[in-house]
Amino acid sequence: MTRLTTCLDAESVAERAAAHVARRLHRAREQRGVAHIALSGGTTPGRTYELLAREPAEWQEVEVWFADERCVAPDDPESNYRLAAETLLNPAAIPAERVHRMQGELGAAEGARRYEQELIEGLPSLGGGPPVLDVIVLGIGPDAHIASLFPGAETLDAGPEAICLPITDSPKPPPERITLSLAVLRAARGCLLLATGAGKADAVSAMLGDESRHVPASLLRRERLSVIVDDAAAPPGPG
């Protein structure tokens, strides 16, 4: 069952999300000595990262990964890595050796190949399945896409062995991207999805409905999914 939390506004969403991530990281470090988190881009996650950066001690023994990346240079304004660096990685002084960046500047195919290898080498898996992250922070598009997995895309049909996928025909610019596979998102111990604003309300409602390839967010494992939204993005109540 998906855990849905509704907050008054975007700032409240970021505060609740930061507390959720901090608890997840603390639990992972207690249980396994290290925590693995994957970050996404976007305005709401960005504010969450700013709040998390206020407690640098919470980022000791944490390995930072990414859910997706645009095929641009790391200092490009469109880069998810740049957003994370400015809001979290640099302010919290997270050592570079614990930050695993998707190298979008290499192009989709080569960047995905290298990141997949890094994930295999750096992350434990369970029972021969995909690498297991402790928490993945996700946004959701108005079309209900997550990471760079878009409605009806062939990447949604990649098998359980798929880990990191190249995207060459993204419906949103730029067309070339790198993304974690649906199998990796579903294998994570927890996914945290954030949405703010009325423009995301329909996507959130669709995500909570029946599973559909036309609603990628609906394909996440609901028993491992926490959703935090503001009032504007919240699905309508009964009646």
Query: Which residues, 6+ apart, have CB-to-CB distance to 118 below 8 Å?
Result: 100
Q: If DSSP codes are grouped into helix, strand and coil, which group holds residue 18?
A: helix
- Looking up tokens 């700032």 gives 11
Q: Is residue 238 part of a domain?
A: no
Q: Is residue 10 part of a domain?
A: yes
pTM for the model: 0.96
CATH of the domain at 78: 3.40.50.1360
pLDDT for 204-239, tens place per residue? Answer: 999 999 999 999 999 999 999 999 999 999 988 653
Torsion sign, CA atoms 147, 153, 156, 161: negative
Tell me, what's the pLDDT at 199?
Answer: 96
Work out the average pLDDT over 38-60. 94
Q: Are 137 and 192 in contact (CB under 8 A)?
A: yes
Q: Is residue 179 part of a domain?
A: yes
Q: Is residue 91 part of a domain?
A: yes
Percent of the chain with pLDDT over 90: 92
Report residue 29: phi and psi, to 5°. -65, -40
Interaxial angle between packed helices 10-32 and 43-52, expressed in degrees from 0 to 180 and rounded to the nearest 10: 60
Work out the average pLDDT over 157-163. 93
Q: Is residue 235 part of a domain?
A: no
Q: Is residue 182 part of a domain?
A: yes
pLDDT for 90-100, tens place per residue? Answer: 999 999 999 99
Tell me, what's the pLDDT at 205?
Answer: 97
Q: Is residue 237 part of a domain?
A: no
Q: Which domain holds residue 84?
A: 3-229
- The count of domains in the chain is 1
Closest CA to 48 of 228, 233, 187: 228
Tell me, what's the pLDDT at 123?
Answer: 92
